Amino acid sequence: MDAYANFINGTITLFSDPMGILIFFGGVVGGMLFGAIPGVSMLTLAAILLPFTAHLSAEHGIMLFSVIYCTGVYGGAITAILFNIPGAPENAPTAFDGYPMTKNGEAGRAVGAAVMCSAIGGTVAAVIMMLATAPIANWAISAFGPPEIFALVFFGLAVAATVGAKTLWKGWLSILVGLLIAVVGMDPVGGIERYDFNMPYLLAGIHFIPTILGFFAVSEIFIQAEKKATGSFKAPKISVDFPSVAELLAHKVAVIRSIVIGFFCGVLPGIGATLAAFMGYNEAVRWSKDKSQFGKGKLEGVISSETANNAATGAAMIPLLALGLPGGALTAMMVGVFQMHDMEPGPLVFLNSPDLVWVVFSAMFFANLSILLVGYLETKTIINLLRIPFQFLAPLILLLATVGAYAVRGLVIDVLVMFIAGAAGFFLRRSGYSLAGIVLGLILGKIGEQTFAQAMQMLHFEWLGFLDRPVASVLIAAAFLTILSSIYSAFFKKHTQ
C-alpha cells in the first residue's frame, strides 16, 4: 500500500512539472534514437549529457538517465532486426532471429514483437523494483558470489553450445573459439599479459562489440554483395504488420521465463542486460520443441531476447539504488549524476531522498510503457529504411559499423578486429559453425574466467568447495545435465538416421 501511494506521489511529481515532462519525453525519444543508430548507443548519449546534468535538479538528472536506459536498450533492437547490426551488445541475440525475419519479409512482426516485449519486460521489472528493491538487492549480493556467478556462466555456455551450429561438436568448437579469443590480453586476476604478440593494444583484449559488428553486420554485407554479384540477390520485402495479440499470448511462457531470467541477471552487479539477453535466448532454444528453427527467423527468439534485456534494466537499478553498486556502464554513469548533486546512491538515498527514488521509479515505469506508443510510431517510419537500394545501404552500414567499432574504446585495432571478424564470419556462416556461440564464448569467457579465479581463491583452490554452496551446485549440475543430454541427443540422432 505504501508502495502504491509512493508511486502515485512520484507520478504526480513527475507529470506536474513541465520541465520534468520535457526531460522525460526527451529521454524517451533520445534513448530510442541513439539506441537505434548504429555506431552510437545510449552510452554515447549518456556520456554527452553527463556534464549537463549538473545544471538539472538531482531528480531530473537521474530520471533522465533511467529513462534513457529503458528506451535505449529497446532502440538497439531495431537495427539488429532490420540490418543485422545490434545497436548495443544486449541486442545481439535479437539479431539471431530478427534479421532472418526481415529477410523473410517479416520485419514488422519482428520489430513489433520487440516493441511489445521490451515494454512488457521493462514494465514488469519496474513494478518488482518498486515493490522490493532493498530485500532483493540484499538477497542478490548475499546469495550470489563468484562461485555462483561462475556456475551461472558455465550453465550458459552449456546451453549455448546447442544454439545455432549445425552439429553439437561445431557448437562446442564455436564456444571454445570464443573462449580462446576471450583470453587475449591481460588476465583479470594477476595482470599477466597473454597473447599480445608485443602489441600493447592487444593487452586491452578483444572487445565483443567489434566482434559482433564484424560477425553480423560486415559478414552480412559480404554475403549480400556476393549475391548481388552472382545475380541471386533479393531485396527484403517491406512489411509493417505487427504481431497479433493472440500470437504474443501464444508465447506467454517465453515472456515470463525471459522476465525471470532478465530480472535475475540484471540484479547481479557486473552482469547486466547483455548476459540477460543471451540467457533469455538460450533458454528459449533449450525449452523449444523445434530447436532447428532458431536462427532462421523464429519469433520466439526475438521475444525472449528483448523481454530479458529490458527486464534487466529495471533490475539493474536495484543494486544501484539500494546498495550503490552499478551493474554496468550506464548505471555507473548514473553514480556520476548522483555525485554531481552531492549525493551517493545507496541505502541513504531511500532515507534522505525518497521523493527522488519514487520519481525515478515512476519514470522508469512510464518510460517502458511509452516504448509501446513511441516505438510503434517510430517503427512504422524506420522500416522504410529497407527501401534504400543495397548499393547505397551497404556502404552506409559499413561506415556506421566502422564508427561503432572505433567508438567503443577509441582504438583502431577494434576496427581491424571488426573486419577480420567480418571475413571470418563470411566463411564460418557457410560451414555450420555458430557465430552466436563464438560471441557468447567471448562475452561469457571474460566473466567466467574472472569469477572462476575468484571462486577458486574463495574456496581455497578446493574444487569440491562448489558443492558446499547450494546455488552453485544446482547450476553446475544443470550444466552437466545439459551437456550430457545434448551429447545423448546428438548420438541418438546420429544412430537413428
Partner 1 sequence: MRRNKFLMTAGSMLAATMFSASSAYAACATDGLPGTMAKPGGFPERSLAMIVPYGPAGGSGQVAQAMAQAVTELTGVSINRDHKPGGSGTVGMTAYLAMPTDGYTVLEHIDDASSAHALDSGRPNPAEDLIPLVISQITFSQIYIRTNEDRFTDWDSFVSWVKAQDGKATIANVSKEGSMERINMKYLTDSTGMKIQQISFDKGAPRYGALAGGQVDALFEQPGDVRKFLDSGTFRPILTLLHSRPGVFADVPSLKDAGFDFEPLLRFRGFYVHKDAPADRVEWLQWAFQKGFCEPSYQAFNEKKYMNLIESYRDTAGGKELITGTIAQYRQVYKELGLEVK
- In the complex, the residues that contact partner 1 under the rule CB under 8 A are 47, 50-51, 138, 140-146, 185-186, 188-193, 200-201, 203-205, 269-270, 319, 323-327, 329, 332-333, 335-336, 339, 342, 344-348, 409-411, 450, 453-454, 457-458, 460
Taking CA atoms, 57 is separated from 44, 63, 273, 396, in Å, by 21, 10, 28, 39
In the bound state with partner 1, the residue whose beta carbon lies nearer, of 50 and 127, is 50
With residue 193 as reference, give the H or E element that holds it: strand 193-194
Amino acid at 164: G
Nearer of residues 368 and 451 to partner 1, judged by Cβ? 451
CA distance linking residue 376 with residue 21, whole number of Å: 20
- The residue behind cell 511509452 is 370
What is the spatial distance between Cα 169 and Cα 154, in angstroms, rounded to a whole number?
Answer: 17
Beta carbon of residue 431, minimum distance to partner 1 (angstroms, whole number)? 32
Residue with Cβ nearer partner 1 (127 or 141): 141
- How far the first Cα of the chain sits from its last, in Å, is 60
Measured from the CB atom, the residue of 341 and 429 that comes closer to partner 1 is: 341
Which helix (H) or strand (E) segment holds residue 185: the answer is: strand 185-186
Name the burial class of residue 263, with classes exposed (0-12), middle (13-18) and buried (19+) by CB atoms within 10 angstroms of its CB.
Answer: buried
SS3 for 84-150 is CCCCCHHHHHHHHHHHHHHHCCCHHHHHHHHHHHHHHHHHHHHHHHHHHHHHHHHHHHHHCCHHHHH
**Assigned C-alpha cell, 243:** 504481431
**Which is nearer to partner 1, 290 or 342 (by Cβ)?**
342
Residue closer to partner 1 by CB (options 193, 226) is 193
Q: Closest separation between CB of residue 342 and partner 1, Å?
A: 7
Q: At its nearest, how many Å lie between partner 1 and the CB of residue 166?
A: 35
Could you tell me the smallest distance in angstroms from the CB atom of residue 64 to partner 1? 17
Q: Which is nearer to partner 1, 183 or 203 (CB)?
A: 203
Angle between helices 272-287 and 299-323 (to 10 degrees): 140
Residue among 347 and 432 whose Cβ is closer to partner 1:
347
The residue (of 105 and 336) whose beta carbon lies closer to partner 1 is: 336
Written as nine digits, the cell of 364 is 522508469
Distance from C-alpha of 42 to C-alpha of 91, rounded to nearest angstrom:
12
- Candidates 96, 52, 97, 89; CA nearest to 72 is 89
Q: In angstroms, give the least distance from the CB of 258 to partner 1.
A: 24
CB of 447 to partner 1, least distance (A): 10
Residue 304 CB, nearest approach to partner 1 (Å): 27
Q: Least CB distance from residue 261 to partner 1, whole Å?
A: 20
Tell me the C-alpha to C-alpha distance, in Å, between residue 103 and each of 96, 262, 297: 12, 28, 8
Which residue, 388, 1, 365, 438, is CA-closest to 182?
438
Show the cell assigned to 221.
554485407
Q: Which residues on adjacent β-strands are paired with residue 194?
A: 185
Separation of alpha carbons 121 and 58, rounded Å: 27
Q: Which is nearer to partner 1, 121 or 205 (CB)?
A: 205
CB 367 within 8 A of CB 11: no
CB of 462 to partner 1, least distance (A): 11
C-alpha to C-alpha distance for 27 and 73, rounded to whole angstroms: 12
CA dist 443 and 247 (Å) reads: 32
Q: Give the shortest CB-109-to-partner 1 separation in angstroms.
A: 38
Are 161 and 278 within 8 A, CB to CB? Answer: no
- Identity of the residue, 34 or 144, whose beta carbon is nearer to partner 1 in the bound complex: 144
Nearer to partner 1, 204 or 223 (CB): 204
State in angstroms the smallest separation of the CB of 442 from partner 1.
15
Instruction: Identify which of 218, 280, 136 has the alpha carbon closest to the alpha carbon of residue 424.
Output: 218
Least CB distance from residue 3 to partner 1, whole Å?
22
